[in-house]
Amino acid sequence: MNLHLSTRLRRMRRNETLRRMARETRLSVDNLIAPLFVRPGVGVRNPIASMPGQCQFSPDTLAEEARALADLGVPAVILFGIPDHKDAEGSGAYDPDGIIPRAVAAVKAARPDLCVITDVCLCEYTDHGHCGVVRPNRDGVPDVDNDATVALLAREALAHARAGADMVAPSDMMDGRVGAIRDALDAHGFEDLPVMAYSAKFASAFYGPFRDAAESPPQFGDRRSYQMDPANAREALREIALDIDEGADIVMVKPALPYLDVLRAAADTFDIPLAAYNVSGEYAMVKAAAANGWIEEKRAALEMLTGIRRAGAQMILTYWAKDAAGWLRG
């Protein structure tokens, strides 16, 4: 039987060469940013049980991992610190001799060409696990004090810049923090240091393994008074617009997969580099399913990353950065 069709879309799917020629979205190692966890010590490579294949590093082993990533062509890493001491105001976050300044120095000494981004938040450094200074709110309930926290975040960003960071990335979701950080950097001679803002960061169930890795679960309550309601897309665009107005150079949507609609809307609305965070829960789900033989990890991971790229992300923070760089090499 011949249907006499003039249009047959399968013609361009007949073999891999034709499919490659017609491919609309291309995932490259240039799109990848590797998140890394660092703690004090020497020779540390502590496996993270909830994130198979990921570790907590000490500055020396972090430098080795950075070299390996750079050799694979990964252009950037983002660092999350785990201090040896935590307190109510997260003083380790803005300590000029803290774990992140030491880690930045180690990575830059090992690979000066690698872009080192630092996460700017207080949750890893506070003894209560929240992303800022906790005080009673107007209802008498303990909550994060926005303005007091912003002052400390600006100090943290400045400490990272002075240590040699190439970019700072505030992830706290405090109102006004991008502008305060931009002002602090500019006032101290860091006008050319970019800010990548976690602009649309949702209060997600997919962060669980990260909190294990960063040792930063809240000791009471949750983070819904400052992270976004998962139901709100229009509000996400308002958050992004505000961060752009305050001086953000890159804006981010986090998590990635449940919020591809937000990512696409941001790409269509704003003419600014756009990042997405393929978060720990998204990674851990695939790892668990692959370990049980239910799915093929490589195909699933590359399909997820391609989907995030197709939705509009130019940069993808992903725990598959190292593996994906190898896979994409062929």
CATH number of the structural domain spanning residue 162: 3.20.20.70
User: What are the start-end ranges of the H helices in 164-296?
Assistant: 177-187, 208-213, 234-246, 260-269, 280-291
Please check the confidence at residue 222 and state whether its pLDDT lies above 90.
no
d(CA 229, CA 235): 9
Query: Please, what is the angle between helix 234-246 and helix 260-269, to 10°?
Result: 50
Q: What does DSSP say about strands 134-136 and 250-254: parallel, antiparallel, or unpaired?
A: unpaired
Which region holds residue 293: left if phi is over 0, alpha if psi is between -120 and 50, else beta? left
Cα Dmax for the chain: 76
311 in a domain, yes or no? yes
Q: How far is CA 111 from CA 2, 21, 44, 76, 169, in A?
A: 61, 35, 19, 11, 20
Confidence of residue 202 (pLDDT cuts 50, 70, 90): very high
The closest alpha carbon to 125, from 148, 97, 93, belongs to 93
d(CA 161, CA 104): 9
Confidence of residue 43 (pLDDT cuts 50, 70, 90): very high
Confidence of residue 195 (pLDDT cuts 50, 70, 90): very high
d(CA 288, CA 295): 9
pLDDT at 314: 98
pLDDT at 184: 98
> Concatenated DSSP letters for 299-316?
HHHHHHHHHHHHTT-SEE
Average pLDDT across the chain, whole number: 96
Average pLDDT over residues 129-156: 93
- Stated length of the chain: 330
230 in a domain, yes or no? yes
Q: What does DSSP say about strands 142-144 and 134-136: parallel, antiparallel, or unpaired?
A: antiparallel
pLDDT at 248: 98
Please check the confidence at residue 221 and state whether its pLDDT lies above 80.
no
9 in a domain, yes or no? no
Query: Please, what is the angle between helix 59-71 and helix 321-329, to 10°?
Result: 20
> What residue numbers bound the domain in which 288 lies?
26-329
20 in a domain, yes or no? no
251 in a domain, yes or no? yes
Q: Is the peptide bond before 142 cis (omega within 30 degrees of 0)?
A: no
Task: Please give the model's pTM, rounded to 2 decimal places.
Answer: 0.96
For residue 195, count CB atoms less than 10 angstroms from its CB and return exposed for 0-12, middle for 13-18, buried for 19 or more: buried
Confidence of residue 219 (pLDDT cuts 50, 70, 90): confident
pLDDT at 107: 98
Per residue in 165-193, pLDDT tens? Answer: 999 999 999 999 999 999 999 999 999 99
143 in a domain, yes or no? yes
203 in a domain, yes or no? yes
Neighbouring-strand partners of residue 284: none
d(CA 307, CA 309): 5
pLDDT at 330: 75
Confidence of residue 223 (pLDDT cuts 50, 70, 90): confident
Per residue in 59-72, pLDDT tens? Answer: 999 999 999 999 99
Residues known to be catalytic: 201, 254
d(CA 246, CA 181): 9
Share of the chain above pLDDT 90, in %: 92
Q: What does DSSP say about strands 167-170 and 115-120: parallel, antiparallel, or unpaired?
A: parallel
Domains contained in the chain, number? 1
Please check the confidence at residue 220 and state whether its pLDDT lies above 80.
no
- Which positions ≥6 away from 309 have C-beta within 8 Å? 25, 26, 27, 31, 316
pLDDT at 212: 82
258 in a domain, yes or no? yes
d(CA 163, CA 159): 6
Confidence of residue 213 (pLDDT cuts 50, 70, 90): confident
Per residue in 308-330, pLDDT tens? Answer: 999 999 999 999 999 999 999 97
